[in-house]
Amino acid sequence: MLSKIAFRFVRAAAPFVLLLVLVLSRTARADNVDTLIKQLGDSSQRIRLAAALNLAKAGDEKAILPLAKTLLNDSDKDVRGAAAVGLGKLIKANPSTKYKSLATANLKTAASNDTSEFVKTQASNALTTIGSGSSSTPTTSGGGGGGVYVNIGPMSSKTSSSKNDKLRALMVKTAQKTLSKVASNMSQTWPGGTPSKSDLSKKGVSGFYVDGTLNTLDIKTSGGGATISCKVSMLLADFPDKSVFGFLNGGASVTASSSQSDQDLASEDCVTAVIENLITSKIVPTIKSKVP
């Protein structure tokens, strides 16, 4: 199953991190990959560390998505580095995996943007391992030193899920958080509230509007588990006119156990992964191309 991501890791000097990982990996044994994935959200730093390392060793492609999320969301540089190493190993072992493009996008983001040089190095090495090379794409925009304002819309859902309000809120939060991480100089706030066209023009700032729709969320059970598939569309428009010039689609599938709580968490992970990927690999680059 895939669980929510709430990560940290044991800190260590960069040259010794991988040795530390190898030692700690022995402290937390797991019965299966699903258990290890759940342990990525454990309150213990040591268990999360061991889980990341053991997922890389397990070789199961279902670990790619949670490790890709760990890479961008963990607050500690060491676990992000371990996730990067694990992604390199898993994608090399599963070259045709459907998660390769998403994981590669996250590795490129980490290689360019992470605050830790250690993580940047591990992400770059992982990209080399999977044959994608190191990312040199900057995440800052043009527009006179970062003159970009992005307004995130309320999101919507066409699904019959009883948790639609929660999922819409999750989509908004994920879009805001991902944009802040991969393009930190694109502002999402404005002094005094929402800017008008005149406000933006006076400051020489380019305005953009981003919104999304959860189109499908399907759960198929089989045996003792389930597969959750989701599809999301996102639009990109000028702001405040909201003249649409980009329409993007993405989808993902994740696995979960038979428990309803696990399936709910996996549904959230599926939607989060698609939003993160669309913001990182499509929306931010498109905005950059529009800014002089």
User: What is the predicted pLDDT for the residue at 1?
Assistant: 38
Give CA–CA dist 64/46, Å, rounded. 20
Q: Where are the domains of the chain?
A: 14-129, 143-290
Judged against a pLDDT cut of 50, whether residue 136 lies above it is answered with no
Confidence of residue 140 (pLDDT cuts 50, 70, 90): very low
73 CB neighbour count, 10 Å cutoff: 21
Judge: domain 14-129, CATH 1.25.10.10.
Answer: yes
> What pLDDT digit, counting tens, does each position of 239-280 carry?
999 999 999 999 988 888 888 888 888 899 899 999 999 999
pLDDT, mean of residues 193-217: 93
User: What is the predicted pLDDT for the residue at 133?
Assistant: 60
Residues 6+ apart with CB under 8 A from 264: 163
Give CA–CA dist 178/2, Å, rounded. 19
14-129 shares its CATH topology with 143-290: no
Give CA–CA dist 270/254, Å, rounded. 6
pLDDT, mean of residues 106-119: 85
pLDDT, mean of residues 214-238: 91
User: Please, what is the angle between helix 45-58 and helix 64-73, to 10°?
Assistant: 140
Contact 254, 228 (CB under 8 A): yes
> What pLDDT digit, counting tens, does each position of 4-45 carry?
333 333 333 333 333 333 333 323 333 478 888 888 777 776
Give CA–CA dist 44/237, Å, rounded. 43
18 CB neighbour count, 10 Å cutoff: 15
Name the CATH superfamily housing domain 143-290: Lipoprotein like domain (3.30.160.150)
Give CA–CA dist 25/242, Å, rounded. 50
Residues 6+ apart with CB under 8 A from 252: 65, 99, 102, 229, 230, 270, 273, 274, 277
Contact 96, 71 (CB under 8 A): no
Contact 80, 119 (CB under 8 A): yes
Rounded (10°) CA dihedral 271, 90, 102, 19? 90
Give CA–CA dist 38/96, Å, rounded. 25
Three-state DSSP at 266 gives helix
Contact 255, 270 (CB under 8 A): no
Cα–Cα nearest to 72, from 114, 36, 44: 114
